[in-house]
């Protein structure tokens, strides 16, 4: 199709929005390995999880056969406030690059949380409310998840307690104010509020924190308060289930215009955006119906897929959470503080890890300065200032479009633009001032971190 036929932005109609989430595990012959009880090292059951998570979410977490879950009407109503999100044809970027490739991006940043995180936040808040809880606790890295959860809790009138990774808390003071505007309390992590926080502060004085630490604190806070549960913004299978709304809409928008994607590119931290974006496409590959080149892009400073081990590991630094089999750098891995924003998690969603192991997707890593270079180029041509996280996908999409320029191929490149960078201006300022640096962990660093992983023989 030509420019006249495909609009700049493909919007689905409200009635075309997905009515069910898609659980890609239902189409996997070899399933992701089960979560393990950290005490007994036995596969977790519903009752093991219910002290931490809402019951309905435990069910979703453990169910690896049901392919579709109905999206409750209350969640669909909330979705309608900011969804369907547009699938944008990057005409201006294509022209700037002089590429024959057709570039599309699914833009999830047009809501106040600034990212796709709201898709799962509203679902988790809904199930917490339905269960009659008082509130929820969580961690946040770049602050997008915390903001999303604050919005969702405010909508359902639930208390919201956020442990925010210290480096982000300090770099993004305004994120805190957005969360407070939505009525949440925000605590920098590691804090002195929890046993595990006090322990980590004693062990690593002056630490910048990590998602792993913040998770441990939030879990402890949830289990020690009556009527509270813990919620998590990425990694878990339930989160990838909710995020499948991204991929389902993307697929529907492409189908509406008869476009067959050749490549699908997403940034990968814990894996929720990537897992959601690729779900229906991975499903087609798994069912032998189609083929796609799926690429996960991770930061070179936190390279769980490209340099991690595929093994059982702790999900959090404090080792209070279940064990998951995943590509991991070891739960003791602390990303460099010079790394901007999110994508700081030591592990990768079990589903994405297993799909990667089955070669349904491939992975590449990108260094920070080249990511910000791509971000700036994108901002100037497409008019959206992207989040640093999302910009990892932009970087590789541009690389692939330039390869097409060499080969003359008119590939359809689809990538996920997970969010906006309005709260990342400290990092942009560093880049603008030429003061941004790159960091790649040494093999010795990783070996040290690997050596602290649990030994599980299953």
Taking CB under 8 A as the rule, does residue 104 contact its own copies? Answer: no
Taking CB under 8 A as the rule, does residue 316 contact its own copies? Answer: no
Taking CB under 8 A as the rule, does residue 19 contact its own copies? Answer: no
Q: Give the one residue of 110, 407, 437, 452 binding its own copies; rule: CB under 8 A.
A: 110
Q: How far is the CB of 407 from its own copies (least distance, A)?
A: 27
Q: Give the one residue of 290, 402, 429, 456 binding its own copies; rule: CB under 8 A.
A: 429
Distance CA 219, CA 256 (A): 43
Q: How far is the CB of 418 from its own copies (least distance, A)?
A: 15
Q: Which of residues 34-73 bind its own copies (CB under 8 A)?
A: none
Taking CB under 8 A as the rule, does residue 185 contact its own copies? Answer: no
Identify which of residues 86 and 212 has a Cβ nearer to its own copies in the complex: 86
Identify which of residues 110 and 407 has a Cβ nearer to its own copies in the complex: 110
Q: Give the one residue of 46, 66, 432, 452 binding its own copies; rule: CB under 8 A.
A: 432
Taking CB under 8 A as the rule, does residue 224 contact its own copies? Answer: no
Q: Which CA distances in Å does 70 have to 18, 27, 67, 73, 216?
A: 9, 17, 10, 9, 31
Q: Give the one residue of 149, 384, 417, 453 binding its own copies; rule: CB under 8 A.
A: 384
Q: Provide the token pair at 50.
A: 């219910």
Contact residues for 228 (Cβ-Cβ < 8 A; gap 6+) = 133, 134, 135, 136, 137, 159, 161, 221, 222
Taking CB under 8 A as the rule, does residue 8 contact its own copies? Answer: yes
Taking CB under 8 A as the rule, does residue 410 contact its own copies? Answer: no
Q: Which residues of 356-389 are buried (b: 16+ CB within 10 A; e: fewer)?
A: bbeebbebbbbbbebbbbbbbbbbebbebbbbbb
Contact residues for 219 (Cβ-Cβ < 8 A; gap 6+) = 52, 137, 230, 316, 318, 320, 321
Q: How far is the CB of 8 from its own copies (least distance, A)?
A: 4
Compute how many residues bind its own copies; rule: CB under 8 A. 45
Q: What is the Cβ-side half-sphere exposure of residue 418, based on CA atoms within 13 angstroms?
A: 32
Contact residues for 62 (Cβ-Cβ < 8 A; gap 6+) = 34, 44, 45, 46, 49
Q: Which of residues 360-379 bind its own copies (CB under 8 A)?
A: 376, 379
Q: Which of residues 68-97 bind its own copies (CB under 8 A)?
A: 77-78, 80-82, 91-92
Task: Give the residue from 229, 238, 232, 219 showing the smallest Cα distance to 61.
Answer: 238
Site string for its own copies, 122-161 (x = CB under 8 A): -----------------------------x--xx------
Q: Which CA distances in Å does 240 have to 282, 290, 422?
A: 13, 21, 25
Contact 244, 24 (CB under 8 A): yes
Sites of contact with its own copies (CB under 8 A)? 7-9, 11, 13-14, 77-78, 80-82, 91-92, 110-112, 114, 118, 151, 154-155, 173-174, 177-178, 180-183, 376, 379-385, 420, 422-423, 425-426, 428-429, 432
């Amino acid at each position: 199709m030509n420019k006249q036929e495909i609009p700049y932005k493909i919007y689905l109609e409200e009635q075309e929005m997905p009515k069910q989430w898609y659980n890609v595990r239902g189409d996997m012959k070899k399933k992701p390995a089960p979560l393990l009880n950290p005490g007994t090292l036995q596969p977790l059951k519903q009752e093991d999880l219910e002290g931490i998570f809402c019951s309905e979410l435990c069910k979703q977490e453990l169910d690896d056969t049901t392919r579709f879950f109905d999206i409750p009407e209350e969640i669909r109503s909330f979705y309608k406030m900011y969804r369907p999100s547009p699938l944008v044809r990057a005409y201006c970027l294509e022209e700037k690059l002089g590429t024959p490739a057709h570039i599309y991006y699914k833009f999830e940043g047009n809501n106040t949380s600034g990212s796709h995180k709201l898709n799962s936040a509203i679902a988790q808040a809904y199930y917490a409310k339905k269960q009659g809880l008082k509130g929820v606790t969580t961690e946040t890295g770049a602050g997008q998840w915390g903001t999303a959860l604050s919005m969702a809790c405010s909508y359902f009138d639930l208390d919201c307690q956020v442990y925010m990774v210290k480096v982000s808390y300090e770099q993004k003071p305004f994120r805190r104010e957005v969360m407070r505007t939505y009525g949440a309390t925000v605590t920098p992590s590691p804090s002195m509020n929890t046993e595990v926080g006090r322990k980590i502060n004693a062990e690593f004085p002056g630490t910048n924190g990590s998602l792993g630490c913040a998770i441990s604190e939030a879990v402890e806070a949830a289990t020690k308060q009556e009527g509270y549960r813990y919620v998590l913004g990425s990694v878990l299978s339930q989160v990838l289930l909710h995020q499948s709304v991204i991929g389902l809409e993307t697929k529907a928008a492409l189908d509406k215009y008869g476009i067959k994607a050749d490549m699908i590119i997403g940034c990968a931290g814990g894996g929720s955006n990537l897992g959601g974006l690729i779900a229906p496409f991975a499903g087609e590959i798994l069912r032998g119906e189609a083929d796609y080149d799926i690429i996960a892009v991770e930061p070179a400073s936190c390279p769980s897929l490209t340099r991690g081990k595929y093994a059982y590991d702790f999900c959090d630094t404090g080792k209070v959470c279940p064990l998951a089999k995943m590509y991991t750098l070891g739960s003791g891995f602390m990303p460099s503080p010079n790394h901007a924003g999110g994508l700081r998690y030591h592990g990768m969603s079990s589903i994405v890890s297993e799909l990667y192991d089955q070669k349904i997707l491939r992975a590449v890593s990108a260094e920070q300065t080249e990511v910000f270079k791509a971000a700036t180029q994108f901002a100037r041509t497409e008019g959206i200032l992207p989040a640093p996280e999302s910009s990892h996908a932009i970087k590789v999409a541009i690389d692939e479009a330039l390869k097409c320029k060499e080969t003359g191929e008119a590939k359809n490149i689809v990538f996920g633009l997970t969010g906006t960078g309005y709260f990342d201006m400290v990092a942009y300022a560093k880049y603008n001032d030429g003061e941004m640096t790159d960091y790649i962990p040494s093999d010795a660093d990783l070996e040290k971190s690997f050596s602290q992983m649990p030994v599980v023989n299953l």
